[in-house]
Amino acid sequence: MKTKVAIIGAGPSGLLLGQLLHMAGIDNVIIERQSGEYVLGRIRAGVLEQGMVDLMREAGVSERMDVEGLVHDGIELVFGGRRDRIDLKALTGGSSVLVYGQTEVTRDLMAAREASGATTIYEASNVQLHDVKGEAPYVTFEKNGETYRLDCDYVAGCDGFHGVSRKTIPAEVLTHYERVYPFGWLGMLSDTPPVNHELIYAHHERGFVLCSQRSMTRSRYYLQVALSEKVEDWSDERFWQELKTRLPQDVAARVVTGPSLEKSIAPLRSYVVEPMQYGKLFLVGDAAHIVPPTGAKGLNLAASDVSTLYRILNRVYRDGRTDLLENYSQIALRRVWKAERFSWLMTNLLHEYSERDAFDKRMQRTDYDYYMTSNAVLKTIAENYVGLPYEPIE
Ligand SMILES: Cc1cc2nc3c(=O)[nH]c(=O)nc-3n(C[C@H](O)[C@H](O)[C@H](O)COP(=O)(O)OP(=O)(O)OC[C@H]3O[C@@H](n4cnc5c(N)ncnc54)[C@H](O)[C@@H]3O)c2cc1C
């Protein structure tokens, strides 16, 4: 087999890049370790920045998103009984975010790929990248007991944090930056109406809470939990009770409970690898960086990486501008680090750190009070939440 761009991983990064390249007439093949159903079964992000919304439109996959996505002009923050609405639209001069689940983004991209006839190989095992530093890279993988070889010009490593792409790069080339937080998020999905029309991010001395949503009838709630917690110890009843305990009374009174569709615990981590490029291999999305979800940035960062790589590859094939390939890592990393900073800041501001002493806790509280009364800081939070602009490629 031969293609121009071999894409490893059919998560949102791989599918979106594949779709954009396909629209530009650049042949690509996606190789995914899991089945399509498995990929769709993962419940993850739900807040899209304007940049990602625009990219979905450019990729021709926005029809359902534009009808079903919910425009949110603000978010609510809660700390120590104090409640503040961040008016995203007013503070940014007109920007907002769109609530549309990662599962739906993935479903739309999968449908578009199937309709386009472009090749996606699901359930490929033992995927290996070869000669990515040389002139003729190729990928090998196994499927149904056979070994296959895919020759290509470039490889896009869109295979998430645990993928093979980053591991292919020699260790001495890479620098890793990491912060592991001393807690995780217990998430619950339920077919119940959201408690609020906007997202609520709440600090409580028992731990952080996020009231999120996927639609007017489907809610997603998260509780900060210790890393030692096990999901099987959290009955639906216990989850709802704890959620209500941590929310302001009037909000708690509005919570509509119901059976969970899914519950899972995710650890919180900040991680960046530099550089995001090695020869003809380009790391995209979670393969190169992870953010704690407090800033709603993971999926959106994947989209901005995709945008940068797509625009560069487009110029390479259209105008022979191979010099632009060297810009990818630097352009992507500048935006990645700003999103890392925002996600880290929001995590530190809103979570309960049991190891913090009384002084540090007063500082955390004072940070919150100051931020909410400073128009300059509110503007900063708003412009980061709706998403910083994408950088041009030259
Ligand atoms: C549990 C969880 C909850 C999250 N919640 C939020 C949230 O609330 N808000 C938010 O903004 N972000 C959230 N995120 C982050 C967000 O979902 C990710 O940033 C996003 O999925 C990144 O997309 P990706 O395509 O880069 O990686 P992924 O979605 O991880 O996709 C990578 C794909 O590569 C495949 N793959 C892996 N290894 C191989 C291999 N060796 N060969 C071939 N294929 C391979 C995987 O099966 C997968 O399909 C969450 C992430 C997790 C894990």
289 is catalytic: no
Q: Report the alpha-carbon distance of residue 29 to residue 20 in Å, rounded.
A: 13
Kindly state the tokens that stand for 148.
Answer: 């296959």
292 is catalytic: no
Ligand 1 pocket check for 160: Cβ under 6 Å? yes
Marked catalytic residue, from 22, 72, 263, 280: 72
201 is catalytic: yes
* pLDDT value, residue 27: 98
**Facing residues of 260 across strands?**
190
Marked catalytic residue, from 22, 293, 317, 371: 293
Q: Report the alpha-carbon distance of residue 106 to residue 259 in Å, rounded.
A: 25
Q: Residue with the nearest Cα to atom 36 of ligand 1? A: 159
Tell which one of 29, 99, 143, 159 to mutate to probe ligand 1, the residue whose CB is within 8 A of the most ligand atoms. Answer: 159
Q: What is the pLDDT of residues 91-150, one digit of tens each?
A: 999 999 999 999 999 999 999 999 999 999 999 999 999 999 999 999 999 999 999 999
Tell which one of 7, 35, 44 to mutate to probe ligand 1, the residue whose CB is within 8 A of the most ligand atoms. Answer: 44
Ligand 1 pocket check for 332: Cβ under 6 Å? no
263 is catalytic: no
**Facing residues of 29 across strands?**
6, 119
Ligand 1 pocket check for 103: Cβ under 6 Å? no
Cα(36) to centroid(ligand 1), Å = 13
Ligand 1 pocket check for 305: Cβ under 6 Å? no
Cα(11) to centroid(ligand 1), Å = 6
Ligand 1 pocket check for 293: Cβ under 6 Å? yes
The CA-atom distances, in angstroms, between 27 and each of 7, 220, 241, 314 are 11, 37, 52, 11
Q: Report the alpha-carbon distance of residue 310 to residue 254 in Å, rounded.
A: 45
297 is catalytic: yes
Ligand 1 pocket check for 163: Cβ under 6 Å? yes
pLDDT tens-digit profile, the chain (394 residues): 999 999 999 999 999 999 999 999 999 999 999 999 999 988 888 999 999 999 999 999 999 999 999 999 999 999 987 999 999 999 999 999 999 999 999 999 999 999 999 999 999 999 999 999 999 999 999 999 999 999 999 999 999 999 999 999 999 999 999 999 999 999 999 999 999 999 999 999 999 999 999 899 999 999 999 999 999 999 999 999 999 999 999 999 999 999 999 999 999 999 999 999 999 999 999 999 999 999 999 999 999 999 999 999 999 999 999 999 999 999 999 999 999 999 999 999 999 999 999 999 999 999 999 999 999 999 999 999 999 999 999 9
User: Helix or strand or coil: residue 75?
Assistant: strand
Domains parsed from the chain with CATH numbers: 5-69+99-178+270-352 (3.50.50.60)
* pLDDT value, residue 48: 97
* pLDDT value, residue 81: 78
Tell me which residue of 121, 136, 127 sits closest to 167, measured CA to CA: 127
Q: Report the alpha-carbon distance of residue 354 to residue 130 in Å, rounded.
A: 47
